[in-house]
Structure 1
Amino acid sequence: MGENTTVEEPEQGPWSSNPTTRSHQRVVLINTTIGALMASLDGSILTVSLPTIARQMHTGVALMLWIMMGYTVMITALLLPFGRLADLHGRVRMYGYGFVIFTGSSALCGFAPSGHLLLFGRLIQGIGAALLWSNSTAIVTDAFPKSGRGFALGINQVAALTGSVGGLLLGGVITAALGWRWIFFVNLPIGTFGALWTFLALKEIATVDHGERFDWRGMALFMAGIVSMLLGLTEIVQGHGGRAPWMIGGGAAVLAVFAWAEGETASPLIDLQLFKNRLFAFGNLSLLLNALARGALMFLMVFAFQGFDGDTPLQAGLRMLPLSFSIIIVGPIAGRLSDRMGSRELASGGLLVTAVALLILAKSGLAQYSVIALGLALSGIGNGLFNSPNTSAVMGAVPPDRRGVAASTRTLLFNTGQLFSMSISFAILAGVMGSGQLSGFLAGVDASVAASGHAAFARGLTEAFTISAILSVVAAGLSALRGKTQPRTMEAKQTG
């Protein structure tokens, strides 16, 4: 089949030979939504409480940044290995282990007596979250046929995105009412329930191939390369850029070796053949650029609200509500529409709406909240239009025995783009303001001191958001190249 030839995915293809009952589909949807919400909440819930933690534990800026970013670093490094392990040993089992590890490490974080032990707990939390993220999308894709898959994935995406944004508001509420340690303690009953429900109620639908060997060499190379690059990016955020080029360059070299080695092994960690699928390739490229364009948006606006407007953590979370509400409303609608009309128009249009939103924020100058609220709302609408249609299309384009690694690849690209976005955005701000003043904001400098740098911060935001808008337009162009209809999966090509 040529590259430009596209066909509709059959309603019941070779991978749909074990259709699940509606009751089990409901169990899958609710359970994975809980997992997505819990894992995404902990990616942002700590952000508004970091100054309080830094003061109480007397942590420096570097340790504070690692407490914030270490969670995502671990998720990014482990997604692909865990996705492949799930393909070999069962997605439901690995997903359940994710609940167990996440819940136990939440208790460790809550009781941590020092910043270093809190960082250790956050790293372990990232391991549990990686197990949840690398399997939830694949489990949903296995359980739902094409006619309902977009809606189900849309619900998951709304939960994840709402958790990311709602974590700011919830973190402010919990910190004000109970103290920051309860940010972690609230995970204990939810995680325990999720683990028990997973092992008792979820069924393994996909065929598990116990005959293939796991690519341990690939795992070691991949983790070494990605962690080295992420450490280098973190050095830039902290203002220690001298070692960053060596760390980033060394990590890139190791990843090049990884890519070569994957082509030489019989059971690769990442199946590079997946990227020969036009829909999978362009859907993931547009996802990466979307994450790169808007990954730092939430953090930048929270710092703006607290650092310059003098908001409390709770007030800053409330002012982000236009973003979360628009995502909640648009996400499921876009998922339903994608089940009927395909992904290209919705996903590409959503990226263009995001570009408009970022330009509005770039021109706002942080002067009028009504203009900022409009930009935040449009950003949520654009993200809602893009995420669930794009996810449904990308996951539907691969055979079932590769959906674990496909889901991990998708989330890996998103997290990598988000980390690059944060690093580049904060590097722009440091260039405009100076790393010393920027570090002061991260450590919780009071509003009277922060206000002196308002103009510089606004200029930095204008530069960052303008670049992000351009990236969104490029992402829209790549998204449009996926083709008009969803291609048959490679498995269908081989068996059809």
Structure 2
Amino acid sequence: MPPSNAVRKETVLFIATLAAFLTPFMGSAVNIALPTIAAEFSMDAVSLSWVASSYLLATAMFLVPFGRLADIYGRKKIFTLGIAVFTVSALLSALAASGTELILFRFIEGIGSAMIYGTGVAMITSVFPPGERGRALGINVTAVYLGLSIGPFIGGYLTELFTWRSIFLTNIPLGILIVALVFRDLKAEWADARGERFDLAGSVFYSLMLLLVMYGFSRLPGTVGIVAVLAGAGVFAGFLLHERRTASPVLDIALFSANRAFAFSNLAALINYAATFAVGFLLSLYLQVVRGLDPGTAGLILITQPVVQTIFATPAGRLSDRIEPRYVASAGMALTVVGLALLSRLDAATDIAYIIGSLVLLGFGFALFSSPNTNAIMSSVERSCYGVASGMLATMRTTGMMFSLGVATVTFAVFIGSTAITPAVAPLFLASQQAAFAAFTLLCIVGVFASLARGSVRAEPPAPCPVSD
């Protein structure tokens, strides 16, 4: 049984929040080091994008399966294993001798991240009642934004003073600390679907589908990319058919077809991350390659967005405990549209203050969206679905991130080709960046309507998890 006293609730929140800081810190810190990594390993634009994409791909592939395993065998167990895998892979990444090795170790790191993402939010939701859940999830999201905030700053200076490898090494002590705290302070376990069967075939279908689609998207507009995307669509059709027929699916489709709030909240999350994640990736290259800034200075500029997110994420979560989450989240998405539209107008001489102002708008919009949207998703299902719901939310997030990087990769392929991003191709890079930001703006406009379409979360009780033997 989950613990009910306030001390234990806060302990769970503290441990899950430390883990929530760990993974975004790594991602944002590595982004600022990408030009340095590209120079050391002689990587072209498309290959470089896989340093980030391999991590996100693995996370997306394994999130829902590990969320389901956590519901059956224990969320704490999967969470702890995920921290261990993440920590070991960080060490391996620091020791990588080539770009290929780094991409492989980042993939393994993504598997560990899937175990963390699919369980941390579920553990928090398991111990906090609905009236307190928005505040707790807001604190957890704040930790995500704090990691995003200081990642570029610390990553930039670590890269300058030491090497990019030191970024991975800084994560190891925190990973060890989290594992130690779990063993010392978390004696309870949460497995609300204990005894149900794990759908291995469905998990293979699901992971293969994401692998084919995401790999294919990164290879567009070439023939290989088109074939892979079509193959992924075929596997997806097989996945849907299998899930409807199996008694204990890894992802019951009824969660979407019979739960409007769950379906549209997840769609809104997918669109939001798809429209915003590549901002840091593109601006890191823009500031260092086009504007000639050093990694430390570029990192200082890029922390603007996540700092604003950090400040407002917890108040936004509390607000969603009192006001219908769709209104708060949709307002945030609308502000994000404005920020992206401003960034689509960047050129080689844009004032830095203009860039910072755009990032402030993005940060405020994202803070208003993320915590209320998470609250809406987790409050729309019953306890036995928390792991799957948490895993699905994280899948929407990481799939959106992959799609976002995929859009950037396609624009690179169209405008730049398989050439290293250097000052010599700055005009072509600017054209590709403007095209990407314009696409993100249009996508985010669609997201506003998806967010509004979710309906009222408070009007209906949490939907029962339809999984059964």
- TM-score, normalised via structure 1 length: 0.88
Matched, 1:242 2:223: yes
List aligned pairs for 1:320-399, cutoff 5 A: 320-365=302-347, 367-399=350-382
Counterpart of 2:26 in structure 1 is 42
Counterpart of 2:275 in structure 1 is 293
Q: 2:102 aligns with which of 118, 124, 129?
A: 118
Counterpart residue type for residue 400 of structure 2: G
Counterpart of 1:5 in structure 2 is none
Q: 2:16 aligns with which of 32, 37, 41?
A: 32
Q: 2:193 aligns with which of 186, 201, 209?
A: 209
- The alignment's C-alpha RMSD in Å is 2.1
Counterpart residue type for residue 483 of structure 1: G
List aligned pairs for 1:257-336, cutoff 5 A: 257-275=238-256, 276-336=258-318
Counterpart residue type for residue 440 of structure 1: A
Q: 2:436 aligns with which of 464, 482, 489?
A: 464
Q: Is the 8 A contact 2:49 2:405 kept in 1?
A: no
Cα distance 1:62–1:345, how it changes in 2: closer, same or farther (>3 A)? closer
Q: Is the 8 A contact 1:92 1:203 kept in 2?
A: no
Quote the offset at 1:249 in angstroms: 0.6
Matched, 1:23 2:3: no
Quote the offset at 1:364 in angstroms: 4.3
List aligned pairs for 1:224-243, cutoff 5 A: 224-236=208-220, 241-243=222-224
Question: d(CA) in 2 for partners of 1:205 and 1:340?
Answer: 30
SS in 2 for 1:127: helix
Q: Is the 8 A contact 2:53 2:405 kept in 1?
A: no
Question: d(CA) in 2 for partners of 1:298 and 1:99?
Answer: 25
Question: d(CA) in 2 for partners of 1:467 and 1:53?
Answer: 28
SS in 2 for 1:435: coil
Residues paired across the two proteins, number: 464
Counterpart residue type for residue 387 of structure 2: G
Cα distance 1:450–1:168, how it changes in 2: closer, same or farther (>3 A)? farther
Q: Is the 8 A contact 2:13 2:136 kept in 1?
A: yes
Counterpart residue type for residue 477 of structure 1: F
Question: d(CA) in 2 for partners of 1:209 and 1:391?
Answer: 21
Q: Is the 8 A contact 2:3 2:9 kept in 1?
A: no
Q: Is the 8 A contact 1:354 1:382 kept in 2?
A: yes
Identity of counterpart residues, as a percentage? Answer: 33
Question: d(CA) in 2 for partners of 1:259 and 1:79?
Answer: 17
Counterpart residue type for residue 490 of structure 1: A
Counterpart residue type for residue 250 of structure 1: A
Q: Is the 8 A contact 1:142 1:205 kept in 2?
A: no
SS in 2 for 1:440: coil
What stretches of structure 2 of length at least 5 have no aligned partner? none
Runs of at least 4 residues off by over 6 Å? none
Question: d(CA) in 2 for partners of 1:59 and 1:434?
Answer: 14
Question: d(CA) in 1 for partners of 2:247 and 2:325?
Answer: 33
Counterpart of 1:440 in structure 2 is 420
Q: Is the 8 A contact 1:225 1:252 kept in 2?
A: yes
Q: Deviations over 1:223-273 (max 9, x none)?
A: 11111111112223xxx7221000011011101101110000001000211
Counterpart residue type for residue 399 of structure 2: T
Counterpart of 1:480 in structure 2 is 452
Counterpart of 1:420 in structure 2 is 403
Quote the offset at 1:58 in angstroms: 4.7
Quote the offset at 1:198 in angstroms: 1.4
Counterpart residue type for residue 156 of structure 1: N
Cα distance 1:52–1:321, how it changes in 2: closer, same or farther (>3 A)? closer
Quote the offset at 1:178 in angstroms: 2.2
Counterpart residue type for residue 254 of structure 2: Q
Question: d(CA) in 2 for partners of 1:281 and 1:209?
Answer: 21
Cα distance 1:294–1:59, how it changes in 2: closer, same or farther (>3 A)? closer
Q: Is the 8 A contact 1:83 1:135 kept in 2?
A: yes
Q: Is the 8 A contact 2:44 2:420 kept in 1?
A: no
Question: d(CA) in 2 for partners of 1:477 and 1:60?
Answer: 37
Question: d(CA) in 1 for partners of 2:102 and 2:345?
Answer: 39
SS in 2 for 1:263: helix
Question: d(CA) in 2 for partners of 1:65 and 1:363?
Answer: 23
Question: d(CA) in 2 for partners of 1:201 and 1:96?
Answer: 13
Question: d(CA) in 2 for partners of 1:427 and 1:117?
Answer: 23
Counterpart of 1:255 in structure 2 is 236
What stretches of structure 1 of length at least 5 have no aligned partner? 1-16
Quote the offset at 1:295 in angstroms: 2.2
Q: Is the 8 A contact 1:43 1:72 kept in 2?
A: no
Q: Is the 8 A contact 1:93 1:199 kept in 2?
A: no
Counterpart residue type for residue 247 of structure 1: A
Q: Is the 8 A contact 2:268 2:447 kept in 1?
A: yes
List aligned pairs for 1:189-204, cutoff 5 A: 189-204=173-188
Q: Is the 8 A contact 1:78 1:223 kept in 2?
A: yes
Counterpart residue type for residue 235 of structure 1: R
